[in-house]
């Protein structure tokens, strides 16, 4: 392999862009349910690199493809390198949840089982290894400032509002599906025991949140 030596966030990002042999994209295209079927009035504009493709290129011919982050991006000052992982819940809820305002214990168990499949730490670690392999530098991070951004189609504000009104109407402590999923995802991210800036973002807020990340 011809190593691409880097020393800054921009240099690493550009090295991965060259290595991927594919142009930049957005999280809307990386998220399969949204690719070609946009669900929002406005689409994300922040450039990202398809890191799954980087992993495929790296593995080609000498090993199997391993789970990695969905994408990488930079903040607006190009001083923080962002690993991006997308976790959507809309389709899962549509298939598995009968009443989004009143979760049964069985439905909570389904959500628990789904989140248990999300190996956030493993994907981050593999993505870091890929960057090190491509550059030939084992000391890339945290020399290069970096963050881990989990993107979801759960809107935290809406989830909290839904839960508030559900509790008012039912006089119960039953969480809405969105609040339950939201809490599970935040806990999952908090439990990633790697020293790194961790950011949880609703997909519609991705541009504004990523642009302002500082470490």
What local confidence, expressed as pLDDT, does residue 170 receive?
A: 43
52-58 — which CB contacts under 8 Å span 24+ positions? 53/20, 53/22, 54/16, 54/19, 54/20, 54/130, 54/134, 55/126, 55/127, 55/130, 57/19, 57/20, 57/21, 58/19, 58/130, 58/133, 58/134
The larger pLDDT score, comparing residue 121 to residue 35, is at: 121
Res. 39 pLDDT band, cuts 50 70 90: low
What local confidence, expressed as pLDDT, does residue 142 receive?
A: 85
Instruction: Please give the model's pTM, rounded to 2 decimal places.
Output: 0.89
The larger pLDDT score, comparing residue 163 to residue 176, is at: 176
What local confidence, expressed as pLDDT, does residue 37 receive?
A: 64
């Amino acid at each position: 392999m011809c190593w691409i030596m880097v020393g800054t966030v921009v240099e690493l990002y550009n090295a991965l862009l060259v290595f991927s042999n594919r142009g930049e994209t957005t999280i809307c295209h990386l998220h399969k349910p949204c690719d070609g079927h946009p669900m929002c009035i406005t689409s994300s504009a922040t450039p990202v690199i398809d890191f799954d493709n980087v992993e495929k290129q790296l593995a080609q011919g000498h090993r199997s493809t391993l789970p990695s982050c969905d994408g990488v991006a930079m903040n607006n000052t190009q001083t923080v390198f962002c690993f991006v992982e997308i976790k959507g819940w809309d389709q899962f809820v549509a298939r598995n949840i009968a009443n989004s305002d009143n979760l049964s214990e069985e439905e909570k168990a389904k959500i628990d089982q789904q989140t248990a499949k999300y190996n956030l730490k493993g994907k981050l670690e593999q993505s870091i290894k890929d960057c090190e392999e491509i550059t030939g530098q084992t000391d890339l991070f945290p020399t290069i400032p970096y963050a881990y951004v989990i993107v979801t189609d759960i809107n935290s504000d809406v989830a909290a509002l839904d839960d508030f009104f559900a509790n008012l109407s039912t006089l119960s402590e039953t969480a809405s599906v969105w609040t339950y999923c939201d809490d599970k995802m935040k806990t999952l991210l908090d439990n990633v025991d790697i020293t790194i800036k961790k950011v949880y973002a609703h997909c519609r807020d991705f541009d504004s949140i990523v642009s302002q990340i500082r470490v």
